[in-house]
Chain A
Amino acid sequence: QVRLVQSGAELKRPGASVKISCKTSGYMFNNYVLHWVRQAPGQRPEWMGWISGISGKTQYAQQFQGRVTFTRDTSVRDTSAATVYMDLNSLSLEDTAVYYCARATTWLPLDVWGQGTLVTVSS
């Protein structure tokens, strides 16, 4: 069974950083790209960027450039298991949102999603 399981909710102060994990299982990690999407309360989803499973190459949406980093941790023994991380720094109140990871290929977008991680930024 294909699964993306994310880490738990976070409460952060303005100016702090947050690191969210997304643990994948049940599929060939190298064959997919992992995207990050966030959704503020009552708003449309917002695409943040992606990280390649096979190469670790990344692409970030312009509005997050310099503030976000995606990394990956792969298992040498099990090519169906990996953990991807999203690190966002200099948090402001506007970063309060649910953050999702989701997998994709060139032609099949976002077909499996993590359960979401609520990040609340509050002073």
Chain B
Amino acid sequence: EILLTQSPGTLSLSPGERATLSCKASRSVMSDYLAWFQQKTGQAPRLLIYGASRRATGIPDRFTGSGSGTDFTLTISGVEAEDFATYYCQHYAGAPWSFGGGTKVEI
């Protein structure tokens, strides 16, 4: 089983600032099958990035995914008010799938 560790746990930012979120895997994620999700309170997670760096349909280009192997990063180039939420990384490189513990981006 691949364990995913996210850091930091909480990121306090002002609108317009750059957000850098980290996700480290306990072993290499095959084919870079790593995704990022955004979740707001009371809502289902929303797919942002898949394949480590591909934006899902309709996702603004201020969201960028990068990395490979065991180290992955989600960057938000200029945080907007609607981006304050919890972000999870998730691997889908074979069962069992797993999610990281999340990074909360707050004002």
* Chain B contacts for A59, CB-based, 8 A: 95
Q: Are the CB atoms of B98 and A47 closer together than 8 Å?
A: yes
Segment of B10-18, B21-29, B42-50, B64-72 engaged in the interface with chain A? B42-50
Q: Are A104 and B99 in contact (CB under 8 A)?
A: no
- Proximity bits, B82-107, A CB within 8 Å = 1, else 0: 00000010101001111111100000
B100 contact set on A, CB distance < 8 A:
44
Of A47, A61, A108, A115, the contact of B44 (CB 8 Å cutoff)? A115
Q: A109-B35, A111-B47, A113-B45 are in contact. Are A61 and B92 (CB under 8 A)?
A: no
Complexed CA–CA distance, A110 and B88 (Å): 13
Interface size on B, residues (CB 8 A): 22
Interface residues of A in 14-66 (CB under 8 A from B): 35, 44-47, 49, 59, 61-62
Measured CB to CB, the closest approach of chain B to A23, in angstroms, equals 15
Across-interface contacts of B88 in A (CB, < 8 A): 44-45
Band of interface residues on A: 20 to 34
Given A44-B101, A45-B88, A62-B96, A109-B50 contact (CB < 8 Å): yes
Knowing A45-B88, A104-B92 touch, does A109 contact B47 (C-beta < 8 A)? Answer: yes
Chain B neighbourhood of A35, CB < 8 A: 97
* A45 contact set on B, CB distance < 8 A: 37, 45, 88, 90, 99
In the assembled complex, 25 residue pairs joining A and B whose CB atoms fall closer than 8 Å, in A order, are A35-B97, A44-B99, A44-B100, A44-B102, A45-B37, A45-B99, A47-B97, A47-B98, A47-B99, A61-B96, A62-B96, A107-B33, A109-B35, A109-B47, A109-B90, A109-B92, A109-B97, A110-B35, A110-B45, A110-B90, A111-B50, A111-B56, A113-B46, A114-B44, A116-B44
* Interface positions of B (Cβ within 8 A of A): 33, 35, 37, 44-47, 50-51, 56-57, 88, 90, 92, 95-102
A-B complex: 10 closest residue pairs judged by Cβ atoms: A113-B44, A47-B97, A109-B92, A45-B99, A44-B99, A111-B47, A61-B96, A109-B35, A44-B101, A116-B44
